[in-house]
Amino acid sequence: MVKKILVFNVGSSSIKYSLFENKKKVYGNCFEKLNSKEDFKEAIHKIFEKFKDTKIDLIAHRVVHGGPLDKPSRINTEVIRQIEKYSEFAPLHNPKQLMAIRFAKQKTKIPQYAVFDTMFFSELPEVSRNYGIPKSIVKKYGIKRYGFHGLSHKFVSKELKGKTITCHLGSGSSIAAIKDKKPLDTSMGLTPLEGVMMGTRSGSIDPGIILFLQQKGYNAEKILTEKSGLKGICGYNDFRDILKKMGKDKNCKLAYNLYQYRIIKVVGSYIPVLEGIDNLVFTAAIGQNVPKLRESICKHFEYLGMKIDKKRNNKNEELISSKNSKIKVYVKKTNEEKQIVEEVLKVI
């Protein structure tokens, strides 16, 4: 029986939406550069207007932080409560995803499911999911490494065997170490703020900086989530702007170099965790579309026998490693929406 599934992938500044017939995508589009609450509401309204004459069987939402929820969940009062609770750990995402869920509840009685970005990392090994803070606090508040972009990391790695490092590089960026399709570690943690530097997020910093900012009266959360990262260094959070201006603007050049450097550090730290590396994967908007960045990252691992084919790399082909490379290097187009549908179909 064919089921029509409307998928919402609500990001920090965008809404991707798709219509699937079972696992086949029949339509997809995106609203970008959404800044205000009203922008998001207007975009959601337009999506429902577009499909008002389509018989939809269920609606599926990508939700960034599910806390203890580790499988696709039929949305009810308790699920909404959990999404609300963990909004404090994903302030750029969960509230906007809740907005889409609530709007859909007002518009229709179609069953809704939440599929969580944290699911893939729910069984991280104890040594990688724990932080060095008092266990009493950990237990009280559920503090651990949850990991994010799990739908993307799972999608681009599921056909690869062995020791794989996946780099989801976009306005939000994360890196994962995966062995035989099971994650061993990931750069994002309790929140999507940890890890490599991002569009507006600082990534991992000395926690003393947070204490210092608070002591000086700053709103540390706002600064580190909305005003830092690439934007904090050069004024631009769109990587396309940085690439255009880095030849003349020294701050854009610094932002590019810092972003690249942080990625190299995390990838390098995961190789001993995996006890080697068979595959390196680049995905998401920056990972899939910036050959220069991929080439400069891979150069740092030539000592391991990693070699890329420049022509393939410049064409953004799927396999960009050369024939004599000891490590396979891939550019894979992620498809979180398809992974969401696959996950939902498993549980229904």
Report the distance separating Cα 76 and Cα 58, nearest Å.
14
CB atoms within 10 A of CB 275: 8
Query: Block means of pLDDT (10 residues each) for the chain, length 348 residues?
Result: 92 90 95 87 92 94 94 96 93 91 90 97 96 97 96 97 97 96 97 96 98 98 96 97 97 98 98 98 98 98 98 98 98 96 94
Report the distance separating Cα 222 and Cα 228, nearest Å.
9
H-run or E-run covering 15: strand 15-21
DSSP-based three-state secondary structure for 322: coil
The amino acid present at 88, given as its one-letter code, is E
3-state helix vs strand vs coil in the chain, percent to 5? 45, 20, 35
pLDDT of residue 32: 86
User: Cα–Cα distances in Å, from 42 out to 2, 28, 30, 189?
Assistant: 30, 18, 13, 32
Residue that the structure tokens 């609203």 belong to:
31
| Sequence-distant (≥ 6) Cβ neighbours of residue 238 within 8 angstroms | 171, 199
The alpha helices in 131-283, defined as continuous H runs, are 135-141, 150-157, 207-215, 220-226, 229-234, 239-245, 250-274
pLDDT of residue 324: 97
DSSP-based three-state secondary structure for 293: helix
Q: Are 263 and 167 in contact (CB under 8 A)?
A: yes
Report the distance separating Cα 84 and Cα 94, nearest Å.
7
pLDDT of residue 226: 92
The amino acid present at 224, given as its one-letter code, is L
pLDDT of residue 342: 96
pLDDT of residue 35: 82
pLDDT of residue 180: 93
Q: Are 69 and 47 in contact (CB under 8 A)?
A: no
pLDDT of residue 1: 80
**117 tagged catalytic:** yes
Catalytic-labelled residue, pool 39, 53, 57, 117: 117
The amino acid present at 252, given as its one-letter code, is C
Q: Which of 5, 6, 25 is nearest to 17 (CA)?
A: 6
Distance of CA 233 to the CA centre of its chain: 22
| Residue-range domains of the chain with CATH | 4-116 (3.30.420.40), 160-331 (3.30.420.40)
Strand order of the β-sheet with 24-31 is: 24-31, 15-21, 4-10, 58-63, 112-116, 73-74
Opening angle at CA 31, ends 27 and 35, nearest 5: 160
pLDDT of residue 26: 96
Q: Are 172 and 192 in contact (CB under 8 A)?
A: yes
DSSP-based three-state secondary structure for 177: strand
Residue that the structure tokens 């499909």 belong to:
51
pLDDT of residue 203: 98
| Sequence-distant (≥ 6) Cβ neighbours of residue 82 within 8 angstroms | 66, 67, 68, 69
